[in-house]
Chain A
Amino acid sequence: MDNKVKMQAKKVDFFYGKNQALKNINLDVYLNRVTAMIGPSGCGKSTFIRLFNRMNELVPHTSLRGRISLDGQDINDPSVDAVDIRRRIGMVFQKPNPFPKSIFENISYGLKVNGIKDKAFIEQKVEDSLKKAVIWDEVKDRLGDSALRLSGGQQQRLCIARCLAVETEVILFDEPCASLDPISTAKIEELILELKKDYSIVIVTHNMQQAARVSDYTGFFLLGELIEFGKTQDIFTAPKDKKTEAYITGRFG
């Protein structure tokens, strides 16, 4: 199987004010593959993943150096509209962030802003997305309720559903299973493997087993640097760097 590069980060530096959060990151995200990012808390995984859909430009006083591309096109080029980029790259945030709207509207919103008006289509899509995100059974009788009344884990799955409803090319998952029980987690992992057929996927996780189970490639971050990147199998069985080995065997982090 040869791999096609879907997204690419090249010599990426990122700053919050004067604090450098990412140092010279080079990483490829391959088409129809799952790329996992692991590393201790605060090492810059969220910061990095949020660069792929230009989310960090909403954070004041930040700056970016280097190039991030989607299908070879620099996504930060002045001629590129961030809205177009985000229509092609979906994201599930680390903290669940449903809208203060009904469960139904949380999902339909993404379709509506993308110009879809067909009611029957939207309803079908809402149901499909909620089913895929393993939350349909819990909410099907109260789609009109406020999403903020859901539990943390339910909100997280709702946000996954919201992301799935808008058909993108890439999905960025930032710790999608952080507040989920083992059964939901297993189902989300199944979903990710299923989604791989149609999407390119990036997932941040603190769960080593999860990275090993779902990903094809893994990047290990430490203090804003990408220490090692390669096939998941290699990273987990024969890491080249001592720090990587120490982290995945649980000896630090």
Chain B
Amino acid sequence: MTYRKAKEKIYKWIFTILAFASLFFLVGIVIVLFKEGTPIFKEVGFLKFILGRHWYPTSNPPDFGIMPLMLGSLWVTLGASMVCVPLGVGSALYLNEIAGFKQRQLLKPVIELLASIPSVVYGFFGLTVVTPFIQKLFGLPTGMTALNASLILGIMATPTVCSISEDALSYVPRSFREASFAVGANRWQTLTQVVIPAAGSGISTGIILGMSRAIGETMTVLMIAGGAAVIPHTFLEPVRPMTAAIAAEMGEAPMGGSHYHALFAIALILFLITFVFNIIAEIISRKFRIKLGLSG
């Protein structure tokens, strides 16, 4: 009896430790980001850092303004959402409303497979196919622009949006549809006024998580966004998103120097942005579950 109790206690401890391990990692990462990132704020000032329009970390004296990098991230993320939202939500609606059982059974895994392709492969595809195409199409000096980064990131984020939206749509109980049809609504009315609103927060969660995937993506943008740390004015200019800047420059930045701290500060800001994205997604999806009566 006491042996069994002791065993139970040990199991409990093991699982508690495992559960808290990820929290531990998260806290550790945040501490490192703060510790290594904040010194740069003392050096150039927080506002100057995030609002500065010039990023010349290696010139003398250096300029540590990350506005071009943040705008680079913003542009490709917005561009990507213009691709992944219609594509992802559209295919989710197709899968749920139009495709038959067999088609859905086949298509959904295929779309989800898109998510498992390594990002370097996407980058390669963008480099060899999309970039030359865009260059020719618009007659540009280089095809490596915010536009093709957006396109590729959009495709990469589509499975996330599609998969979560499709789940949300399939959670809508059949009884809601039946209730709608029973009062004489047609398919379109049922879809737009009952099904989509009922799944709305689930779909928004998918969109936000898709966007947070796009903003955090590194390898692809490093390969195809062009890398120019200049404030972009159109989608046809090269950009250097925050992730690309960190990945490209970390190797050259002397450890403990200002540039090094500046890159950590970028990572910190990026972390905060995706953190906020995820919190919003969490709040919305919790609301969704309550709305559908899935949990109190």
- Using a CB–CB cutoff of 8 Å, the interface residues on chain A facing chain B are 53, 55, 58-60, 82-83, 86-87, 90-91, 93, 95, 97-101, 109-110, 113-114, 146, 148, 159, 162-163, 165-166
Which residues of chain B have C-beta atoms less than 8 A from A86's C-beta? 181-184
Which residues of chain A have C-beta atoms less than 8 A from B173's C-beta? 97
| Interface presence of B139 (CB below 8 A) | no
Which one of B101, B183, B193, B292 lies within 8 Å of A166 (CB-CB)? Answer: B183
Interface residues of B in 266-296 (CB under 8 A from A): 291-293
Q: Known interface pairs A99-B194, A100-B291, A148-B291. Does A58 touch B184 (Cβ–Cβ under 8 Å)?
A: no
Give Cα A93 to B186, complex, Å: 18
Which one of A60, A90, A95, A114 lies within 8 Å of B182 (CB-CB)? Answer: A90
Interface residues of B in 188-208 (CB under 8 A from A): 189, 193-194, 197-198
Give Cα A130 to B149, complex, Å: 56
Contact B184 A97 (CB under 8 A): no
Q: Known interface pairs A99-B194, A100-B198, A109-B193. Does A93 touch B184 (Cβ–Cβ under 8 Å)?
A: no
Q: Known interface pairs A58-B177, A148-B291, A148-B293. Does A113 touch B182 (Cβ–Cβ under 8 Å)?
A: no
Count: A-B pairs, CB below 8 Å: 74
What are the 7 closest A-B residue pairs judged by CB atoms, nearest first? A110-B183, A87-B184, A97-B175, A113-B185, A91-B182, A97-B179, A113-B189
Contact B179 A113 (CB under 8 A): no
Q: Known interface pairs A113-B184, A113-B186, A113-B189. Does A55 touch B178 (Cβ–Cβ under 8 Å)?
A: yes
20 contacts between A and B (CB under 8 A): A55-B178, A55-B181, A55-B182, A58-B177, A83-B184, A83-B185, A86-B182, A86-B184, A93-B175, A95-B175, A97-B178, A99-B198, A100-B291, A100-B293, A109-B183, A110-B185, A113-B193, A114-B183, A114-B184, A162-B179
- Could you tell me the distance in whole angstroms from the C-beta of A122 to the nearest C-beta in chain B? 13
| Interface presence of B174 (CB below 8 A) | yes
Contact B178 A99 (CB under 8 A): no
Which one of B180, B183, B292 lies within 8 Å of A90 (CB-CB)? Answer: B183
- Using a CB–CB cutoff of 8 Å, the interface residues on chain B facing chain A are 101, 173-186, 189, 193-194, 197-198, 291-293
Query: Which B residue's beta carbon lies closest to that of A146?
Result: B291
Contact B101 A60 (CB under 8 A): yes
Which residues of chain B have C-beta atoms less than 8 A from A166's C-beta? 183-184
Give Cα A20 to B179, complex, Å: 25
Contact B176 A100 (CB under 8 A): yes
Which one of A82, A93, A110, A148 lies within 8 Å of B178 (CB-CB)? Answer: A93
Give Cα A83 to B187, complex, Å: 9
- Could you tell me the distance in whole angstroms from the C-beta of A149 to the nearest C-beta in chain B? 10
Give Cα A148 to B293, complex, Å: 7
Contact B180 A99 (CB under 8 A): yes
Q: Known interface pairs A82-B181, A86-B181, A148-B291. Does A99 touch B186 (Cβ–Cβ under 8 Å)?
A: no
Which residues of chain A have C-beta atoms less than 8 A from B182's C-beta? 53, 55, 86, 90-91, 93, 163
